[in-house]
Amino acid sequence: MKKLVMIAFLLSGMMAMAQKEETKDRRHSMNDLSPEQIATLQTKKMTLALDLNEAQQAKMKSLFASNAAERKTKMEAHKARKESGEKMTSEERYSIQNERLDHQIALKKEMKALLNDDQYAKWEKMQHRRGKHMKVKRSQRKNLEGIKSEK
């Protein structure tokens, strides 16, 4: 009986590790794409969700391309800072957060100008769901980090 319990425990551990690697691979797959490729994929997803016309698709693609390029440069700067071990000051954190919120406000205004009322309402709903999903993911990540630090 003890052997069966031990085997079941080991198998469940192996399965959990396999799932963790799979999600890690999926998360890093977008990092390997160029900003243009990311913009194309995001535009197609948005077209499927909101039924965009050709003009809207072209404008969305240029918007997404500029956002992806900007995000990629910021991620590289963040990665370089993290590797150097340099800590951000509270003023830098405030500045980054303020800039991010300004960007979100500008994006919302651009989306309101690009989309019709029905599409915009649907987009707002999608953003709200995405925000909830990200909060859950963030809390799960913090819980995992807490468990790792205890070991």
The domain segmentation of the chain, as residue ranges, is: 37-150
Q: What is the pTM of this model?
A: 0.67
Within its chain, how far is the Cα of 15 from the centroid? 25
CB 71 within 8 A of CB 89: no
114-127 pLDDT, tens digit per residue, is 999 999 999 999 98
18-40 pLDDT, tens digit per residue, is 766 555 555 566 778 888 999 99
42-100 pLDDT, tens digit per residue, is 999 999 999 999 999 999 999 999 999 999 998 888 888 888 888 888 999 999 999 99
**Rounded Cα–Cα distance for residues 57 and 10 (Å):** 49
Q: Rounded to a whole number, what is the largest CA-CA distance in the chain?
A: 66
pLDDT, the chain, mean: 83
HSE-CB of 23 using CA atoms within 13 angstroms: 7
For residue 107, count other CB atoms closer than 10 A to its CB: 13
CB 47 within 8 A of CB 57: yes
